[in-house]
Amino acid sequence: MKKNKRILLESLCLIAVIAAIAAVVGHQEDLLPVLTQVGDNQHTALFSNPNEAKEKLHTIMEGLPAVEEIDVTDETAAKSVYDQIVAIYTLAEEQRIPLTKEQETTIKGIIKTFEQTDETTAQSIPETGGVLSAGTYLLQNNLSLKEQDLYIPSNTEVVIDLRGHRLTGTGKGSVITVEKGGTLILKDSTFYPVFRGGSITGGTGTDMDQDGMQFQAGGGVLVKGTLQLQGGSIQNCTANSGGGVYICDGGDFLMSGGNIEHCVVSGDQNVYGGGVQVSGGGSFWMSGGAILHCAVKRDSAATEVSFGGGGIGIYSGRFTMDGGLVSGCSSDYHGGGIYVSDQTISTVVSGGTVEHCSAAVHGGGIYILNNEAVTMTGGTIADCQAEGGGAVCIQGANGTFDFQDGELIGSSDTDSSEHFYNAQFGGGIYVLGGNLHFSGGSIRNFSASDSGGGLYLGSGGTMTISNGVVTACTAERNGGGIYFNGVEATMSGGTISDCEAKTNGGGLYGLSGSFTIKDDSAIQGCTATGDQVLSEETGQMALWDGGGGIFTSSDAVVSMEGGRISGCQSEAFGGGIFSYGTFFYSGGMIEQCTASGGGGMLIAGESQCFISGGSIQKCHATNSNGGGISFSDGTLAIQGNPVVSENTNGKEGVVVEDNLYLPEGQKIDLAGTMTEGAHIGISLSPAAFLTREVPITTKGDGNYENILTYFVADKENTEIELDSTNQCLNLTLNLEMAEDTQKNTTDNQKEESK
């Protein structure tokens, strides 16, 4: 068959032949998953009568053409024949009907006919190996090189068609070396590559000397020129660097098909790229194919920590991934899927998938070391695992991950009896002194056994979020969505949603550093499930947890200039925000949040809270005070035009208005002039009224001419008044109103008793 006919026919018939051949050789354990993926027209009905099924199978067999009648150039007829073969083996498998030897021979003969090819120009690879001249080489059988591995010199283009057979190296070096200026095109024209795919194996790498360091590189193929992998596989090769393929001296590797699988690198230092290693200014472009179950193994005697890239390592050069698959790869140190060093020129992921990869330390999917040229504009990183950064780890002051689009997806283990965590810290992304620019895409379904379910930001790094989503992430301790410690972060867009922390900070947790929220950012539907514990000795609160939306520790600063926190809840305190640290609130909204106490916000410890704008509305405290704000301790300074209204508590089984709650002794600092639009409801405990008047603000320096228009008393029989200086507000118990209320209540009770 002509080459173009063959290629088209392969695409039409691939699935069918995989199923057919697998059944012929008895690979039933592999057959069922394949058969379930074929088209609906390939599925057979279940037969209650075994003889009826046998008759159906016999009828399909009768419809197969005789070998001498086959026109291999008729693509439509070929597709029909292979559909028939799939139907035969599907029926035989489902009904447990053994095929006769005659039937199997008939089917094999048909398949062999379709495998005929024009071999007049093809050469054979010599068993002795050595230098290959230009041209096409076709493997007719499995071949083990006896004397030398293969060498492709400069200015030479070689095509090797594995044709479903295995090429085994001498075991003394790289199976194939492509010299600078040379080209190798590796393909596999078999019709059934899953069952009998061609492969290159048995390589151990070429001796290299770089900067006085000796190592073996390129177990399968050493590329100084150009390698195009279109089909077949490089498998079970080993080296110190580049177990499958090693690229150096400005070489190029273009992978559009085929596999690199079960290749391993090991040693005691500079061990990179279980599947592929890019060095020496080379480049690797991956648009298809797969790198499967490759690994970086660290020798037990190793003292160095320069290990990484179970699937791919990029030390010096370029890597572009716009398709293909990296799956099941692992590293005993960093970068289970991909390792990017500080010398890498550029790394771009715009498509393809990295999945089921793991690293013993950092970066289950991708590890970035002090490199500022890593961009993700598409593709997927899924179900990866590490101690820090299940999907991505960014380390070093110049380490930068520009996440513009694509998906980072955690793990779902609803059927597992033991919970699976993507990481201890940073289920999705772990930043160690690096920089994250998050402008699109999604981070979802990650889980951390400690903190930072979605992201962990630490050690002096920076982060900007302008778009994208962090959703459905969980942390066993703090920061279900994001945990930050010693960083500067800005969120000017995007959403943190439906995240959960088992202790504090369902959406966001701050230990130290600063985090600014503005524009149309959103934290919504997040939950903190921490405890509230009373001291047995004093009866006072001994443990304060919470922060459904945000929790700030004493050294953290959160500024909210815009955006919204909505629908968040805490089983303890601070449905929207729990502030132990410093909180600036100048714009945005906190709405419809709930907690046992402090539905919208709880201010506690030595917190410093400055409110000059924004709104807290329609929040609710279920079992304590402060539907809007519970000001337990610390300082609270107010000016400008904030709104705290329409908030409630239901602690006594009756829902009452409760906006800003001040326990006995707490006062608001009037930090400046109040402006039009401000509206703040004030509540006090009845026990606070030891006298008729209770001071609720300190003296301020602003203009208080209209101050009484901005503050209102939540509870009946109370009023807010200016003191004699006109610079301090008192909450006054109106005794006459209280007496009238009591009299009306008594009269009503008498009427009801009649």
On the CB side of 123, CA atoms within 13 Å amount to 12
Classify residue 89: in a domain, yes or no: yes
Q: Give 65's DSSP letter.
A: P
Q: Which of 192, 185, 338 is nearest to 256 (CA)?
A: 185
Classify residue 88: in a domain, yes or no: yes
Give the pLDDT of residue 140: 87
Token readout for 578 is 């729990």
Q: Which of 468, 469, 463, 498 is nearest to 483 (CA)?
A: 463
Classify residue 121: in a domain, yes or no: no
CA–CA gap between residue 546 and residue 425 (Å, rounded): 20
Give the pLDDT of residue 538: 42
CA–CA gap between residue 535 and residue 544 (Å, rounded): 11
Question: Is 399 in contact with 425 (CB distance < 8 Å)?
Answer: no
Domains identified in the chain, total number = 1
Read off the pLDDT of residues 360-397 as tens digits, 9 standing for 90 and up: 999 999 999 999 999 999 999 999 999 999 999 999 99
Token readout for 443 is 């981070």
Classify residue 256: in a domain, yes or no: no
Token readout for 534 is 């009373």
Token readout for 457 is 């930001």
Give the pLDDT of residue 4: 38
Q: Parallel, antiparallel, or unpaired: how do β-strands 150-152 and 330-331 relate?
A: unpaired
CA distances from 151 to 5, 174, 227, 231, 605 (A): 31, 9, 13, 20, 72
Question: Is 153 in contact with 182 (CB distance < 8 Å)?
Answer: yes
Taking 70 as the pLDDT cut, the residues of the chain under it are 1-48, 75, 114-121, 191-196, 301-305, 412-418, 532-543, 690-691, 702-703, 735-754
Continuous segment of H or E residues that includes residue 4: helix 3-24
Give the pLDDT of residue 725: 80
Give the pLDDT of residue 252: 98
Classify residue 460: in a domain, yes or no: no
Classify residue 59: in a domain, yes or no: yes
Name 263's Cβ contacts closer than 8 Å, sequence gap at least 6.
219, 220, 234, 235, 236, 237, 238, 243, 244, 274, 275, 294, 295
CA–CA gap between residue 656 and residue 80 (Å, rounded): 75
Full DSSP string of 637-689: EEEE--EEES-EE-TTSS-EE-SEEE-TT--BEEEEEE-TT-EEEEEE-GGG-
Label residue 464 exposed, middle or buried (CB < 10 Å: 0-12, 13-18, 19+): middle
Read off the pLDDT of residues 130-142 as tens digits, 9 standing for 90 and up: 999 999 999 989 9
Beta strands in 459-524 (DSSP E): 462-465, 469-471, 474-475, 482-491, 495-497, 500-501, 508-517, 522-524
Classify residue 57: in a domain, yes or no: yes
Classify residue 19: in a domain, yes or no: yes
CA–CA gap between residue 653 and residue 158 (Å, rounded): 83
Domain coverage including residue 51: 3-114
Q: What are phi and psi of 402, to 5 degrees?
A: -100, 95
Instruction: Name the pTM for this structure.
Output: 0.84
